[in-house]
C-alpha cells in the first residue's frame, strides 16, 4: 500500500470516524483541527498538575509527614489564590500587547511557564528549610517559601489565562463553547491522573529515611517543573502565527505615542453593560461552597489518598493509612 493511500486513510479516519466516536470531537473545525486542539489543551494538563500539587499533595506532605504548622502551610497555599483576581488584568494586557512579531498570547504563556518553573525549582529547598530548620533566620525562610508559592501560582494563573484566550482566538464563534468545555475536561482529567501519580510516588513517604524522603520530595517537585515546561512548549508550538500587520501597527502606534486603553475604563464599560455584576456575584457564591467542603473534610489528605480510601471502603478492603 502506497504512502499516499495511507495518508488518505489517516485523513479520512480523522475526518469521518473520530468525530463520531470521540467526545468533544465536534469542537474541532477547519481552522482548529482536532489534533491541534488536543495539543493546545496540554497547557491545561500542566495547570491540573500544578493545582493538585499546590493545593493537595504539598498540604498533606508538609503538615502530616514534615510536621509544619497547619496555619503556616495554609498561608503559603493561599498565596497563589491571592493572584487569581489579577487574571482579568492579565487577559486585558495580553489583548493590547505590542509585539514585534504581532504576538499577543505567546509572551504571557512563555513567561508564565518560566514563573511556574522558577517557583517549583526553589520550592522544595525552602520547604525543607521550613520543616527542618537551617542557619537562616526563620522569617527569611518563610519569605522564601512564600515567594516560591506566589511565583508558582502567578505563573499558573498567567499561563492558564493567556492559554484560554489563545484558544478562543483560534476557535470560531460557534465552536468556542465546546472548545472551552474540552479544555476544562482536560484540566479535570489531568488533576485526577496527577493525583494518582503523586499518591503512587509518595506512598511510602512517611516510612522513608529522612534523606531519602527529602530526595523524593525534591525529585517530584523538580520533575513537575520540567514536565510543565515541556507540556506548555508543546502546547504553544506553532499555535499563534506571526502577524506582520499587527506588528507594523504596534510599531507605528508606539512611534506615534498612541495611548493604550486603560484597564479601569474597560472594566467599567464591562460592568456597566448588561448583568455582569450579577453574574460575577453568582459565580462567587456558587463556587465558594465547593472550596468550603474541601477545607472542612476530616483530614488534610490529598486527592489520591482520598480516592484510595473510598475505593477501599467500596471493595471492603483495608484502605491505605
Residue 125, domain member (yes or no): yes
Share of the chain above pLDDT 90, in %: 15
Residue 142, domain member (yes or no): yes
Q: Tens digit of pLDDT for each residue in 232-285?
A: 999 998 888 777 777 777 777 777 777 777 878 877 777 777 777 777 778 777
Number of structural domains the chain divides into: 1
Residue 235, domain member (yes or no): yes
Predicted local distance difference test score (pLDDT) of residue 5:
72
Q: Which of 44-53, 61-70, 168-177 has the lowest mean pLDDT?
A: 61-70
CB 99 within 8 A of CB 251: no
CA–CA separation, 297 and 213 (whole Å): 26
- Is the confidence at residue 172, as pLDDT, over 60? yes
CA–CA separation, 30 and 172 (whole Å): 9
Predicted local distance difference test score (pLDDT) of residue 317:
40
24: left (phi over 0), alpha (psi -120 to 50) or beta: left
DSSP-based three-state secondary structure for 35: helix
Residue 292, domain member (yes or no): no
Domain region containing 66: 27-244
Predicted local distance difference test score (pLDDT) of residue 231:
94
Predicted local distance difference test score (pLDDT) of residue 296:
43
Give the residue with greater pLDDT, 290 vs 206. 206
Residue 182, domain member (yes or no): yes
- Is the confidence at residue 321, as pLDDT, over 60? no
Q: Is 157 buried (19+), middle (13-18) or exposed (0-12) by CB count in 10 A? A: buried
* Three cell numbers written together for 132: 527542618
Q: Tens digit of pLDDT for each residue in 49-69?
A: 988 888 877 777 777 666 677
User: Domain of 149: which CATH number?
Assistant: 1.20.1250.20
Q: For residue 125, which phi and psi values (nearest 5 degrees)?
A: -70, -40
Residue 282, domain member (yes or no): no
Residue 313, domain member (yes or no): no
Give the residue with greater pLDDT, 82 vs 118. 118
Residue 311, domain member (yes or no): no
Predicted local distance difference test score (pLDDT) of residue 113:
94
Reported pTM:
0.75
Amino acid at each position: 500500500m502506497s504512502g499516499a493511500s495511507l495518508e488518505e486513510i489517516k485523513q479520512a479516519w480523522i475526518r469521518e470516524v473520530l468525530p463520531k466516536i470521540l467526545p468533544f470531537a465536534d469542537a474541532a473545525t477547519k481552522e482548529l483541527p482536532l489534533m491541534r486542539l488536543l495539543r493546545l489543551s496540554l497547557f491545561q494538563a500542566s495547570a491540573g498538575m500544578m493545582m493538585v500539587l499546590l493545593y493537595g499533595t504539598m498540604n498533606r506532605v508538609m503538615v502530616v509527614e514534615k510536621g509544619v504548622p497547619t496555619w503556616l502551610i495554609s498561608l503559603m497555599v493561599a498565596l497563589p489564590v491571592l493572584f487569581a483576581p489579577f487574571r482579568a488584568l492579565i487577559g486585558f494586557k495580553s489583548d493590547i500587547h505590542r509585539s514585534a512579531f504581532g504576538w499577543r498570547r505567546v509572551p504571557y504563556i512563555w513567561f508564565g511557564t518560566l514563573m511556574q518553573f522558577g517557583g517549583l525549582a526553589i520550592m522544595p529547598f525552602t520547604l525543607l528549610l521550613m520543616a527542618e530548620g537551617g542557619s537562616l533566620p526563620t522569617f527569611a525562610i518563610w519569605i522564601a517559601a512564600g515567594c516560591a508559592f506566589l511565583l508558582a501560582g502567578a505563573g499558573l494563573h498567567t499561563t492558564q489565562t493567556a492559554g484560554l484566550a489563545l484558544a478562543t482566538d483560534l476557535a470560531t464563534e460557534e465552536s468556542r463553547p465546546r472548545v472551552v468545555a474540552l479544555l476544562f475536561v482536560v484540566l479535570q482529567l489531568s488533576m485526577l491522573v496527577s493525583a494518582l501519580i503523586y499518591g503512587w510516588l509518595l506512598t511510602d513517604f512517611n516510612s522513608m529515611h529522612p534523606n531519602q524522603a527529602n530526595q523524593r520530595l525534591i525529585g517530584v517537585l523538580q520533575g513537575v517543573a520540567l514536565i510543565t515546561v515541556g507540556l506548555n512548549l508543546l502546547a504553544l508550538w506553532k499555535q499563534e502565527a506571526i502577524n506582520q500587520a499587527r506588528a507594523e501597527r504596534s510599531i507605528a502606534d508606539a512611534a506615534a505615542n498612541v495611548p493604550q486603553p486603560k484597564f479601569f475604563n474597560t472594566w467599567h464599560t464591562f460592568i456597566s453593560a448588561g448583568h455582569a455584576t450579577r453574574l460575577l456575584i453568582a459565580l462567587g457564591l456558587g463556587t465558594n461552597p465547593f472550596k468550603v467542603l474541601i477545607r472542612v473534610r476530616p483530614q488534610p489528605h490529598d486527592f489520591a489518598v482520598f480516592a484510595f480510601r473510598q475505593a477501599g471502603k467500596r471493595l471492603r478492603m483495608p484502605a491505605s493509612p
